[in-house]
Structure 1
Amino acid sequence: MDSKRIAFVSVLGAALLSVAVDPVLAQGYSSTTERLIRTLNTQLLYAAIPITVLVEGILIYTVWKFRNNENPLPTKENRRLEITWTVATAIVLLFVGYASYGVMANEYVTTTPEDAKQIEGNAVQVEVVAEKYIWNFNYKGENVSTSGEMVIPKDRPVYLNITSKDWLHAFHAPQLGLKQDAIPNQHNVIKTKPTEEGTYQLYCAEYCGVGHSSMLGKVKVVSQSEYQQWLQEQKKDSQSGGNNSSSGGNSTTTTTTASA
């Protein structure tokens, strides 16, 4: 197999891998957090493709060329080759480190305590409280609480203050690129900005008992006007439920209560 054939196989392999990646890249991003993480993954993938094709090409070429060699000779020392692959490895590691740091240091991926203190005026703040086996959401400053489904607006910063009431849990909405541990007596903050309306699945990613598999929820991203309308409806339902309770009636509101 000559060098031209090796080059052809390498280019063909890279093209096939690129085609396989295109459907993923064609999809939209549901949040700023997901965009940052997926862009990093794509950059690392494209860096890995030529390296993989080169290494596999050399391996296949070597196996084919020496397939009938029954008396192989030991590899001779080649200082230039050793220096070359050492420098090449260092360059790859520097690229990976630089690209990863630029994403991991972003406040939409790793929210520090300092970031959590500098909250924008138009940001939505939601306390996420996990307990066996349900998710509760308390909207700060709105006197609204829900269970099972969290509604947040599109194109606004959202701070999720995540904690647990009883045991170790983990908030995980993979389509939004969000994941954070829920620990009793501790609050972990995630900052994100939804960019696509829709309903996204919420999971508990930390085994928490026999009901772990059923500890599911929904994250619903809506327009700003729809979000404001939803808040007003929740407040009305909460007030109506409180009035019915005080007058001896039965409240029909089961998932919304007024937070303290």
Structure 2
Amino acid sequence: MRLRRSLVRLCLLAVGLSALAAPAAAQSVNRAAIDELNAQLLYVALPLALFVELTLVYAIYRFRDNDDPSPTVDDPALEITWTAATGAILVFVGISAFVVMANPYITPAAAQASTPGDAFADDHEVDVLAYQWGWEFSYPEANVTTEERLVIPANRNVTFRLRSADVIHAIYIPDLGVKQDIFPGRTLTARTHATEPGEYRLYCAELCGSGHSRMNATVVVKNQTAYDAWVENQTATAENRTATTESRIATAR
């Protein structure tokens, strides 16, 4: 009896600890949705895992000297109970996962297909070109192109139009919860809404050749004022380069 009470108390303790193990503040809407799903699954998985392990320990201790074990007695009520409980848990996990996968930031292609017109017409767009072994980022609104450095505004929806120049690549920004394979000959879509300005790492998550390990980039999230200033600076720099080049050509003639 005491052992059973101890098992119950330990299970309750596990539930309490899982509730306290809240993740740190997410840096984007995508990451927040993923972290919330992980937390929900943890609340279910941790008590179950602890219950199973403690039951195993109890069985080993209780029947350790049983040299003449008796057959297990059928208990239909118990079997129905654990089957129903397992079914309920699987339904909960399935619904939780479906809600996250239906999120337009996690699966933007599905959201685009189910919405007439351009569902992301008001988003800030960035054209992303992956190649062996680097990244090129173009900003149609500003007519600016950067390499190995992606700059986006915070607190604004951002859509990435993804293309590959050669083989299969995959854009992966762990801190922003962005991950999407990129196939040659197709334009894929990824989406995010960053909430915390800062610098984050971008990786290629698909083995793409001998230079795969160095196919990284930096993602810089700026507040809107800083982002606008960056765009103006990049535009002015590009215009100065163009003017200098034209001047040199004219002089050479």
So what's the TM-score if we normalise by structure 1? Answer: 0.89
Stretch deviating more after TM superposition (32-41 or 235-244): 235-244
Q: Which residue of 2 aligns with 1:2?
A: 3
Q: Which residue of 1 aligns with 2:42?
A: 45
* Alpha-carbon shift at residue 12 of structure 1 (Å): 3.7
Q: Which residue of 1 aligns with 2:186?
A: 186
Q: Which residue of 1 aligns with 2:85?
A: 88
Taking the aligned partners of 2:160 and 2:96, their CA distance within structure 1 comes to 26
Aligned residues: 244
Q: Which residue of 2 aligns with 1:258?
A: none
Aligned partner of residue 203 in structure 2, secondary structure: strand
* Alpha-carbon shift at residue 17 of structure 1 (Å): 4.9
* Alpha-carbon shift at residue 51 of structure 1 (Å): 1.4
Taking the aligned partners of 1:150 and 1:173, their CA distance within structure 2 comes to 11
Root mean square deviation, CA, Å: 1.7
Which one-letter code corresponds to 1:139 in the other structure?
Y
Taking the aligned partners of 2:8 and 2:85, their CA distance within structure 1 comes to 19
Cα pair distance change 1:30/1:42, threshold 3 Å: same
Tell whether the 8 Å contact from 2:37 to 2:96 is kept in structure 1 after alignment: yes
Deviations 1:8-59 (A, max 9, x none): 333344445555x24xx2x211100000011011011111122112212211
Tell whether the 8 Å contact from 2:163 to 2:186 is kept in structure 1 after alignment: yes
Q: Which residue of 2 aligns with 1:223?
A: 223
Taking the aligned partners of 1:120 and 1:179, their CA distance within structure 2 comes to 21
Taking the aligned partners of 2:3 and 2:167, their CA distance within structure 1 comes to 62
* Alpha-carbon shift at residue 141 of structure 1 (Å): 2.7
So what's the TM-score if we normalise by structure 2? Answer: 0.91
Aligned partner of residue 108 in structure 2, secondary structure: coil
1:5-84 to 2 correspondence within 5 Å?
5-19=6-20, 21-22=21-22, 25=23, 27-84=24-81
* Alpha-carbon shift at residue 2 of structure 1 (Å): 2.6
* Alpha-carbon shift at residue 248 of structure 1 (Å): 2.3
Deviations 1:121-161 (A, max 9, x none): 3x210011000111100112321111100100000000011
Which one-letter code corresponds to 1:102 in the other structure?
V
Aligned partner of residue 248 in structure 1, secondary structure: helix
1:1-260 to 2 correspondence within 5 Å?
2-19=3-20, 21-22=21-22, 25=23, 27-112=24-109, 113-114=112-113, 117-121=118-122, 123-248=123-248
Taking the aligned partners of 2:209 and 2:58, their CA distance within structure 1 comes to 52
Deviations 1:70-95 (A, max 9, x none): 22222222211111111001100111
Aligned partner of residue 126 in structure 1, secondary structure: strand
Which one-letter code corresponds to 1:9 in the other structure?
L
- Percent identity between the two aligned chains: 36
* Alpha-carbon shift at residue 120 of structure 1 (Å): 4.1
Taking the aligned partners of 1:36 and 1:214, their CA distance within structure 2 comes to 29
Which one-letter code corresponds to 1:197 in the other structure?
P
